[in-house]
Structure 1
């Protein structure tokens, strides 16, 4: 049974990122993108590829390879990435505490939605792995917005579909922090995407923890009244 929400909350909804936040897939995506670029003769250090995980594929190719690569090979690289990731996706597992946190948020009276910009089949697999299909109020995928993170579009769609008015965002990258701030939402960041505490805090995260289990003990009533710092709207530096 869903709990009753206190009346003094500023935010009635919690939006969770999926890849790297609910499921441990960040490094699988990095490997898949690295292999995709290499298959077209584009050599990039793995650390740069990893640092771009969290933005959508519509932006990642140009960010890492430059506009000329995007114009010439963008669609082919995205297709190659999907093929490479599909070979790794059975290795992806839920992150510890994923189901428990979603259950807790529902019990505390929040609407809960998944603001994913992943491919529909990837997102569907992640939702099934975590076992929260019947708990969440909405799920988005890459098909639900034309512009991906750090633009706020996909998060706004998730909020609207959940029937909420204002949200807290949980994510694992600086791109999540920025996209949240651009829709007026504070972002709670977890380190499972491989970003450091200092950079997540500098970007504007209102709370940084090691993982989802830590958030089960967070002060959610205080977070439900938090606001993002103004500087969090600024585009994160490119990898």
Structure 2
């Protein structure tokens, strides 16, 4: 009985993952911590509270965790104007909304970043609600953000659209099906093993296939 569509924002609707990775690399460099960009990129999609110990280790988290997250915000602020929406983002949201679903744009980002991205995709007129980091006690791959997104619109069941394995894992913990796009850099196999029911190369491809997904029509 799906009545709600939950769209991840970063990496799914806007092409921001590589800016996030570069911002984290520069934040680490402030503390003479060297991590290869490929490894940093593999962690994009996790919340910053999980990201630092996962990528750099528990000792780095204990010594510099909050300072690194503050440094990341400063570095990302300098890159945010480079972020562009993915082709077809607004059109996909508009069609899902027109089909009758409650629409939630779910981000665990800072409010100022989320608002900027929603403006990029002209998402505010379409969304019934949206989330930020303030709406989840625990970040992905924990399910708090998905649960909050459903609660904001009083939804009974949802389909998640995301770009990372962490989206699929978080949604799966609430028995929410995930439609994944490869825009986050994860392989088809990784996304399906994490729980995605279908994987698409682009938002345009997903829109063309909506009738064959849980977002065909609200139950």
CA displacement 1:59-114 (0-9 Å, x = unmatched): 10011111111111000000111111000000111111110000000111111101
Instruction: Report deviation, 1:184.
Output: 1.0
Judging by fraction of residues, say which structure has more strand.
2
**Structure 2: how far apart are the matches of 1:173 and 1:35?**
22
Q: Please, what is the CA RMSD of the aligned residues?
A: 1.2
Instruction: Report deviation, 1:200.
Output: 0.8
Q: Structure 1 residue 123 and structure 2 residue 122: aligned?
A: no
* Match of residue 218 from structure 1: 209
* Match of residue 68 from structure 2: 77
Residue of 101, 121, 126 corresponding to 1:110: 101
**Structure 2: how far apart are the matches of 1:95 and 1:224?**
20
* Match of residue 43 from structure 1: 34
Instruction: Report deviation, 1:134.
Output: 1.2
Instruction: Report deviation, 1:224.
Output: 4.8
Instruction: Report deviation, 1:219.
Output: 3.6
Counterparts of 1:1-239 in structure 2, within 5 Å, are: 10-220=1-211, 222-224=213-215
CA displacement 1:38-57 (0-9 Å, x = unmatched): 11011111110000000011
Instruction: Report deviation, 1:222.
Output: 4.0
User: Given that residues 10 and 107 in structure 2 are in contact (C-alpha distance below 8 angstroms), is that contact kept between their aligned partners in structure 1?
Assistant: yes
Secondary structure of the 1:195 match is coil
* Match of residue 5 from structure 1: none
Secondary structure of the 2:92 match is helix
CA displacement 1:179-217 (0-9 Å, x = unmatched): 010111000010111111111112221010011111111
Spell out structure 1 runs of 4+ moving beyond 4 A.
none
CA displacement 1:144-202 (0-9 Å, x = unmatched): 11100000101111111022111000000000000010111000010111111111112
TM-score by length of 1: 0.88
Secondary structure of the 1:206 match is strand
**Structure 1: how far apart are the matches of 2:194 and 2:177?**
11
TM-score by length of 2: 0.96
User: Given that residues 129 and 153 in structure 2 are in contact (C-alpha distance below 8 angstroms), is that contact kept between their aligned partners in structure 1?
Assistant: yes
Residues paired across the two proteins, number: 216
Secondary structure of the 2:32 match is coil
Instruction: Report deviation, 1:220.
Output: 4.0
- Most deviating of 155-164 and 174-183: 155-164
User: Given that residues 111 and 133 in structure 2 are in contact (C-alpha distance below 8 angstroms), is that contact kept between their aligned partners in structure 1?
Assistant: yes
**Structure 2: how far apart are the matches of 1:221 and 1:115?**
23
Instruction: Report deviation, 1:221.
Output: 6.1
